[in-house]
Structures are given as C-alpha cells and as structure tokens.
Chain A
Amino acid sequence: SAVISQKPSRDICQRGTSLTIQCQVDSQVTMMFWYRQQPGQSLTLIATANQGSEATYESGFVIDKFPISRPNLTFSTLTVSNMSPEDSSIYLCSVGHGGYQPQHFGDGTRLSIL
C-alpha cells in the first residue's frame, strides 16, 4: 500500500493567518483527496486534488478558503487561508486508485487556531 507523508503533523496558528499542508506519496496515484475530521464527527471530504487542473470542491468548501495544488502524481498541498478558530480540526490527505481499492490515509495535520 502507498506510504503517505503529511507535513506538518500539527501546528498552532494565529487567527487570520494561512497554513499550507503538504502531502507526499511514495508512488504515483490516480486520485488524491483532502478531508477534514472534527472531534466526534465523521470525515468530511473537502476536495479532490486533480493533477494539472483545478481541484474539485465539495459543497460548503471554496477555493479561496482552501486552495489546493497538485503539480504531479505524488504530491499535493492544501492551504487553509485566513484561519479562524472554527478551522481547528484534523486535515487528512488520502490517495486511491478508484473502484474497489481501499483509500489510504496520511496521519493527518492537527491544526489549532488561537
């Protein structure tokens, strides 16, 4: 299975600032996704990171708030912009090849906004 490295693993940020989270995979993957996991809640898909084109965002998430890059088949970044305390959460990168194959998750970035 794919090995996924997420950086940073955790951070504490000031209100109004932005943070970029990196996701590096040890092999080329078809699909890359970004999720948010809030305490006691289910994972919520933010967007699908598309290689060479704009990300596909889910309802409730916009590019201005969560810009995503995917320059190649092994790397993606998620930026959380103009952060507020409501953005405090765990952000997870996930990869998959579609169909019945399992998605593999990174260990997440634990983000706290003061």
Chain B
Amino acid sequence: KNQVEQSPQSLIILEGKNCTLQCNYTVSPFSNLRWYKQDTGRGPVSLTIMTFSENTKSNGRYTATLDADTKQSSLHITASQLSDSASYICVVSANRGSTLGRLYFGRGTQLTVWP
C-alpha cells in the first residue's frame, strides 16, 4: 500500500533554532518527492521537488534531503523565524507512466515557532 508517514506530528521550537522534519514513504514506483508549506487558512505552497537522482535541494533556509534507498526524506529549517509556523506536508509522486504521477500526501507536521 502506498503511504507517506511524517514525524513528528507537531513540533514547538524557539525562534532562531534549527529543526528537522521527517518523511518516510512506501510509494512505488517512485517519481519525485515534494515538500509543501501550508500556512493557516492558506493553500499549500511548494518548497522543493526532488527526483530519484537528487540527494539534497535547498530553498533559502529550507533544505530537503532524499534517500531513495531507504525511502526517507527530511526537511531541515535553519534559523527559524516566526513566519515558519505552519504545517509542512511531504508529498510523493508515483510514476504511472504518464506525464503526471499520482500524488500521495502525508498528514503534515505542525510547526510552531515561539519568540
């Protein structure tokens, strides 16, 4: 069964600190993995997309890693800011042989950054 599991479910950190969010998946055949940020009351916004051959990708203070062998990904946030408070969603695309793979969504990690 194709699944995406994220941990922790929620996380509270102090402003300026770093944190790492985890994503484990069983989706096969794998196409790509995406991290989205969803602010309260808003739609998800794409942070990174990684294909099978990419181990790491950065977007400002966000760095995503991918280990396709162990089917694990992480999202590292450096020097957190209050605006980082949001839900972070891991999304894995399965290759269906068409130009658009099916997306499997994790439940998200709710990050709260305190001043």
User: Which A residues form the contact surface with B (CB < 8 A)?
Assistant: 4, 31, 40-45, 92, 94, 96, 98-100, 102-108
User: Which B residues form the contact surface with A (CB < 8 A)?
Assistant: 4, 32, 34, 41-46, 49, 51, 89, 98-100, 103, 105-108
Bound state CA distance, A50 and B99, in angstroms? 15
Residues of chain B contacted by A104 (CB below 8 angstroms): 43, 46
Q: Is the CB–CB distance between B103 and A107 below 8 Å?
A: no
Which residue, of B89, B100, B106, has the highest number of chain A Cβ atoms within 10 A?
B100
From B32, which residue of chain A is reached at the shortest CB distance?
Answer: A100
Q: Is the CB–CB distance between B43 and A100 below 8 Å?
A: no
* Number of A-B residue pairs with CB-CB distance less than 8 Å in the complex they form: 44
From B108, which residue of chain A is reached at the shortest CB distance?
Answer: A42
Residues of chain B contacted by A105 (CB below 8 angstroms): 43-45
Bound state CA distance, A6 and B33, in angstroms? 26
Q: Is the CB–CB distance between A40 and B107 below 8 Å?
A: yes
Q: Is the CB–CB distance between A100 and B49 below 8 Å?
A: yes
Residues of chain B contacted by A4 (CB below 8 angstroms): 43
Q: What's the least CB distance linking A76 to chain B, in Å? A: 15
Q: What's the least CB distance linking B67 to chain A, in Å? A: 19
Q: Please, could you name 21 A-B residue pairs with CB atoms under 8 Å apart, sorted by A?
A: A31-B100, A41-B107, A42-B89, A42-B106, A42-B107, A92-B44, A94-B43, A98-B99, A98-B100, A99-B99, A99-B100, A100-B32, A100-B49, A102-B46, A102-B49, A103-B103, A105-B44, A107-B41, A107-B42, A107-B43, A108-B41
Beyond the given A44-B105, A100-B49, could you list 13 further A-B residue pairs with CB under 8 A, ordered by the A residue number? A41-B107, A42-B89, A42-B106, A42-B108, A43-B89, A43-B105, A45-B103, A92-B44, A94-B43, A100-B32, A104-B46, A107-B41, A108-B42
